[in-house]
Amino acid sequence: MEFWTDFWDIIWWFVWAFVFIAYLFALFSIITDLFRDRDLSGWWKAVWLVCLLVVPFLTALVYLIARGRGMAERSARAAVSARKASDAYIRDVAGSSSPGQQIAQAKALLDEGAISPDEFASLKAHALRQAGGVPVTADGNGAHRAPA
């Protein structure tokens, strides 16, 4: 009979651990939302934080009921904003310019004397390879052949 008592004590401990961790997630979400909300004044933010310290469970429950919808909207806006910033960063790093733009930039560098004709040919070949264009010959010109 001692085994079942210990077993249920362990289960009860897991239940309380789950409740406590869920409460911590809710608490950190509330605090994050408080600082994310631009419409709420600093004094109201301070009042919410003090209440979270004094009566934490009740305040968290009231906050989720009273401001839950706005909390979800702010969280969704933050996720969309983060996604847009991530996409912009990836586009910036990957370089979204077309092969024509890359060749035009290389030609401008060639005209300025910043690169040699061999470097221009290599940049042109690289841009055309990326686009799946025509094969490039050793002199940098595209090989135009009639179909067989």
Under 8 Å between Cβ of 45 and 35: yes
> What is the number of residues in the chain?
148
For 114, the token pair is 């910043």
Cα separation, 73 vs 29, in Å, equals 13
**What distance lies between CA 59 and its chain's CA centroid?**
31
Which letter, b or e, does each residue of 83-110 get, where b requires 16 or more Cβ atoms within 10 Å of its Cβ?
A: eeeeeeeeeeeeeeeebeebbeebeeeb
DSSP 132: T
**Which of 4-13, 26-35, 54-63, 116-125 bottoms out in mean pLDDT, i.e. has the lowest?**
4-13
- pLDDT reading at 136 higher than 80: no
pLDDT computed for residue 34 by the predictor: 92
Q: Residue 14 — very low, low, confident or very high, per pLDDT cuts 50/70/90?
A: very high
- pLDDT reading at 147 higher than 60: no
Cα separation, 29 vs 60, in Å, equals 10
CA diameter of the chain: 91
pTM of the model: 0.54
pLDDT computed for residue 39 by the predictor: 87
For 134, the token pair is 């025509």
